[in-house]
Amino acid sequence: MSLTVVIPALNEERHIAGVVRAVRDQAPQVPVIVIDDGSTDRTAECARAAGARVVTSTLLGKGASMEDGLQLVQTPWVLFLDGDLSGLRPDLVQRMTEPLAAGRADLVKARFARSGGRVTELTAKPLLRVFFPELMGIEQPLGGIIAGSVAMLRSLTLEDDYGVDVGLLIDAHLRGARIEQVDIGEVAHDSQSLARLGQMAQQVSRTIMQRAKASSRFSFEQFQELEELERHARGTFERLAEKLSDASRVALISAEGPLAETDYLLALARSTGREAELARVVERQGPDLGAARVEVARLFRFVHQNDFVRVARSLPLRGDAVSAVNALRRAGWRVGVVSDGFFIAADILRRRVFADFAVAHFMNFRNGVSSGELRLNPAFVHSASPVPGAVDKGHVLRQVREQLCRPGTLLAALGALPADQGLLQAADLPFALGSRPTETPDACWAAVDSLTAFSERVLAVG
């Protein structure tokens, strides 16, 4: 047989036998080696009973166990599996080795659906985006389900600890290896303690940055970019999913109108000497600057990031904004700020009123200075829109309903007309600030004259 399966394991007596049996059922002739990393439970005994060869690691650490296993392999290919897996599909071995057998790949990474992945999303992917952006297409850079050429893998340096998987990926890429991803469906891993996740994050960070330095990709400017990437991460659906996974009531408040007494873009233009330029955009496009968001972003090219922050922190809020948001949150509502402008400002407004999350578009900064380039938040686009690619706040609410909330979640919205008409039309409980029902007799929303009135009306229903 051309393949050996190696499973590094530490205290995995609950799952190790199932992993070994899954391999034996799929490929009875394939050797299975479990590298026991000094387990204090029955991991070794369970693995042997399931039909694996068990060897004790020479050094504590996942990477050291993988290195030990690699040296024992006598076949051209190796497949690494984690010892805590469950729910493995019956064709896993075939799927992971097919690209090797076909001569298309030197390294195969599993792509799978699973819960969690906090170190991947919050540490590995932001660092890879800065230092190795060409690897951003790898969905599970820290995944331990890896198949590859033994000769190629033995030429690489394997980290001793949790940095081994991402280090192996980067090193293989830098050596010119052909890397392919294979979809293996949904895989369950045991959840890790916060202390262990913190340790993993440190080791993964160190590994990526060491490789970046060794390949001359390391600079102070990139650290500044990391700060901006972390800001962007707060507005992603991964972060929203954490906030809304158990929500039964969600309120979205438009930042343009309901929250602040002064429009943020106008205040930023005044502060940076661009008021006349903004007025010309309004004259051409109309007062709804959301429709001209890309053109507006270009106006603020070369403006320092500190100016965006300063204006957002000093923007006058409506007097009852904080109390209204707090009333909703005390009653169990999750409150979000949605803006057709810049996330850097929307997130500050969100923090000033103590809301739970913010959704907006992303201004790009390089070395702390705006590039004038706007990255649209995909939450504002919906596949069912009658206008393909249309950007609308209403799509944010639809995406929240369909992707992030459990069925039956009640969704309220507060907006200002006409810019927020799409948002109001998509809500269960829509309210427009200051609009008069007599002007829109067929409207689905109700008029309120303050945030306090909005919160009172919403609380009376939900």
Residues 281, 352: one domain? yes
Residue 87 included in any domain: yes
Residue 170 included in any domain: yes
| CA count, 13 A, side-chain hemisphere, 185 | 12
* Per-residue confidence (pLDDT) for residue 162, from 0 to 100: 86
| CA count, 13 A, side-chain hemisphere, 364 | 9
**C-alpha–C-alpha distance, residues 132 and 289, integer Å:** 35
- Strands (DSSP E) contained in 129-169 are 146-149
**C-alpha–C-alpha distance, residues 109 and 140, integer Å:** 8
Residues 140, 204: one domain? yes
* Per-residue confidence (pLDDT) for residue 191, from 0 to 100: 62
Residue 377 included in any domain: yes
| Start-end of H helices in 261-376 | 264-271, 275-285, 293-299, 305-314, 321-330, 343-352
Residues 136, 247: one domain? no
Residues 167, 256: one domain? no
Domain that holds residue 397: 232-461
CB–CB of 401/423 below 8 Å?
A: no
* Per-residue confidence (pLDDT) for residue 411, from 0 to 100: 92
Q: What is the CATH number of the domain that holds 200?
A: 3.90.550.10
pLDDT, tens digit (0-9, with 9 covering 90-100), for 215-268: 887 765 655 565 566 666 666 666 676 677 788 899 999 998 899 888 899 999
Measured between alpha carbons, how far is residue 139 from residues 25, 88, 111, 434 in Å? Answer: 28, 18, 6, 46
**Number of domains forming the structure of the chain:** 2
pLDDT, tens digit (0-9, with 9 covering 90-100), for 193-217: 666 677 788 889 889 988 988 888 7
Total residue count of the chain as it appears in this document: 462
Residue 12's contacts (CB-CB under 8 Å, 6 or more residues apart) are 39, 41, 43, 83, 84
* Per-residue confidence (pLDDT) for residue 28, from 0 to 100: 93
* Per-residue confidence (pLDDT) for residue 232, from 0 to 100: 62
* Per-residue confidence (pLDDT) for residue 223, from 0 to 100: 58
CB–CB of 361/341 below 8 Å?
A: yes
pLDDT averaged per 10 residues, the chain (length 462): 91 94 94 92 94 90 90 96 88 94 94 70 85 90 93 91 92 95 78 69 88 80 60 64 79 91 92 93 72 86 93 92 92 92 91 90 87 89 79 87 82 88 91 68 78 94 78
Residues 405, 310: one domain? yes
Residues 269, 362: one domain? yes
Residue 106 included in any domain: yes
* Per-residue confidence (pLDDT) for residue 115, from 0 to 100: 46
Residues 158, 262: one domain? no
Residues 186, 97: one domain? yes
**C-alpha–C-alpha distance, residues 150 and 79, integer Å:** 9
Q: Of all helices (H) and strands (E), which one includes residue 234? A: none
Residues 188, 69: one domain? yes
